[in-house]
Amino acid sequence: MDGQTMELLAEMICGDDQQKFPAYRSGSELTRFFQKVGFANLSHDGSTRKWWTLETLKSLSENNLKAVILRLANPKEYKADRTNTAKAIACLNDILSLEGLKVELSGITPQFKQCEPDFFVDISDVKDLQPLPKPDFSKLNIESKLSEVLSVRWTEVEICVNNGAYLSATILMGSMLEGLFLSVLSRNPKEANSAKSAPFDKKSGRVKDFTEWKLVEMIDVAHDVGWIDYDIKKYSHSLRDFRNFIHPHQQMLQNCYPDKDTCNISWLVVQATVNDLIEKLK
């Protein structure tokens, strides 16, 4: 299971965002939750709840991880509260959709179902998706030459979209995300390096040089330090997945072919990312 999926599951188990998730769990409640799944020896150690939960999930076998997920969808976990149970299943299915899985109730027993991996954004309120205006990259206070490079890439994305080169357009937009985040990290090293999700070099025990960070790590850190909101983090990871189709083998495995709608959605992600970074870093 993808590391980002695991992190979202950890966030759901902790339940800090009480508007999004059906139940908040303190440290002692996390211990009880895992014990109810069947892990009698697990006990929260007092560390940060989210990262303890994430490390716990990573340590589980596939079958044990599935048991945790099914417990999250079990009506008994919510004292048979129909509203919270429905909310839990909806959250889970949103998280699991890109894994090709969903959870359904059979009576009161949650079960896994296979489904087509899904990346859906509701654009029903958008009457006409036109090419977005080019962002003012200079407002990010990044290198002037990089602003020029990003501006040129934005123009090339427009050319690709207008000529049906949707895969190329999507890959270019993913590369723009990486350029944006790398520049912002380099301009704000103290905040970035102090983030709990900053990647460490196992040999030196120090935070890796920014040039060695993966895009997934850049996105996570940008969210952790408050530069981008949760929704931008989530959709940036989705765009990252599409950017990985620069590797033909990866595209073959996913059997996915970006189209014009994919490009329109990805454009919105890049634009929203720039907006968040400008607003939070001004």
- For the chain, which residues make up each domain, given as ranges? 3-114, 137-281
Radius of gyration of the chain (CA): 20
Q: Alpha helix locations (H) across 73-200?
A: 82-96, 144-162, 166-187, 189-194
Structure tokens at 137: 């990259």
Question: What are the pLDDT tens digits along the chain (282 aa)?
Answer: 888 889 999 999 999 887 788 999 999 999 999 999 999 999 999 999 999 999 999 999 999 999 999 999 999 999 988 889 999 999 998 888 878 889 999 888 999 988 766 555 554 544 444 556 777 788 888 888 888 898 899 889 889 988 889 999 999 999 999 999 999 999 899 999 999 889 998 888 899 999 899 999 999 999 999 999 888 898 898 888 888 888 888 888 878 888 888 888 888 888 889 888 888 877
Residue whose tokens read 């090339």:
156
Taking residue 89's Cβ as centre, other Cβ atoms within 10 Å add up to 20
Tell me the sheet residues that pair with 111. 104
Please provide residue 180's backbone torsions phi and psi, each rounded to the nearest 5 degrees: -60, -50
Q: What's the CATH code, domain 137-281? A: 1.20.120
What pTM was estimated for this model as a whole? 0.54
For every residue of 217-233, DSSP letters joined together read HHHHHHHHTTSS-HHHH
